[in-house]
Structure 1
Amino acid sequence: MDKRFWICGLAMSVATLLTGYAVHGGLLAADYAPLYGTLLRTPEQQEPYFAWLIVADLLIGFAMTWLYRFGFSEGRSTAAQGLRFGFAIALLAAVPLHLIYYAIQPLSGALVAKQVAFDTIRFMLLGLLIAYLQPRRPVL
């Protein structure tokens, strides 16, 4: 694992933290508000657990960086590779996770549909980012 891996992993970790906040702290904030204090911790109760969000985002960022090195295909554009990779990651992680939560928690179908859609877009954007950060990309 070279210097580029560590730089890309850190950049991806920051990007996943920011995009996660944009989706779950911004776009879905109104949907989550009625769930605070029952199904979700209140913002005040969440504060002591913030370090776990950092750990999760570091794991996502470095795992995506590591996995992308194995998923690179010659002959595809950088954008196509990134979108394909991000979509695969969404199907592997975000989509099943939200469907499992839907099966075991009293979440509305509308909220879960938004979570799936926004997180799929989020991971596709993250896929684009890692595709452009990696050194073995073909020219558009």
Structure 2
Amino acid sequence: MDKRFWVCGLVMSVAALLLGFIVHGLLLAPGYAALGAMYRSDDDSRHYAHWMVLAHVLVGFAMTWIYAQGFSDGRSSAMQGLRFGVAMALFSTIPGYLVYYAVQPLPAALVAKQLVLGTIATVLLGLLVAWLQPRRKVLAELP
């Protein structure tokens, strides 16, 4: 794991945290607030913010590492990123929200929004990691 991997993982972590804030902290916040005591209050959730940061750091570095294992030099970066983002959404985002829906009394409309927005965010992360390409050769290394 070289310097590029660590930089890519850090950028991906920040992007995951930012997208999570946009999706859940802004776009879905009214839906969560309507559920009342099912979720932590703003004051209580502040005590758990470090777990949220850790979760997004894990997402950023895991996506970077997994993408680096399957990167193909002969294919378009955008198509690889799109494919990777869809695969990650099918692997984690979509099943996660479906499990939450099965075990928590969440409104179907809210879960539908989580599925759509979460999938879009995951695909965007896939495109970002493909653009960053953690195993890409820098121009100075090319013949």
Q: TM-score, normalised by structure 2?
A: 0.91
User: Partner residue of 2:7?
Assistant: 7
Q: What is the rounded CA distance, in whole Å, between the counterparts of 1:111 and 1:73 in structure 2?
A: 37
Q: What is the rounded CA distance, in whole Å, between the counterparts of 1:46 and 1:35 in structure 2?
A: 15
User: Partner residue of 1:96?
Assistant: 95
Matches within 5 A, 1:1-140: 1-36=1-36, 38-134=37-133, 135-136=135-136
**Amino acid corresponding to residue 83 of structure 1 in structure 2:** L
Moved over 4 A (4+): none
Q: CA RMSD in A?
A: 1.2
* Aligned-residue offset at 1:127: 0.5
Q: Which has the larger radius of gyration?
A: 2
* Aligned-residue offset at 1:136: 3.1
- Is the contact made by 1:10 and 1:61 (CA closer than 8 Å) also made in structure 2? yes
Q: Unaligned regions of 5+ residues in structure 2, if any?
A: 138-143
* Aligned-residue offset at 1:107: 0.4
Q: How many residues align?
A: 136
Q: Unaligned regions of 5+ residues in structure 1, if any?
A: none
Q: Secondary structure at the match of 1:73?
A: coil
* Aligned-residue offset at 1:74: 3.9
Q: What is the rounded CA distance, in whole Å, between the counterparts of 1:65 and 1:32 in structure 2?
A: 30
Which segment is superposed worse, 59-68 or 73-82?
73-82
Q: What is the rounded CA distance, in whole Å, between the counterparts of 1:16 and 1:115 in structure 2?
A: 15
Q: TM-score, normalised by structure 1?
A: 0.93
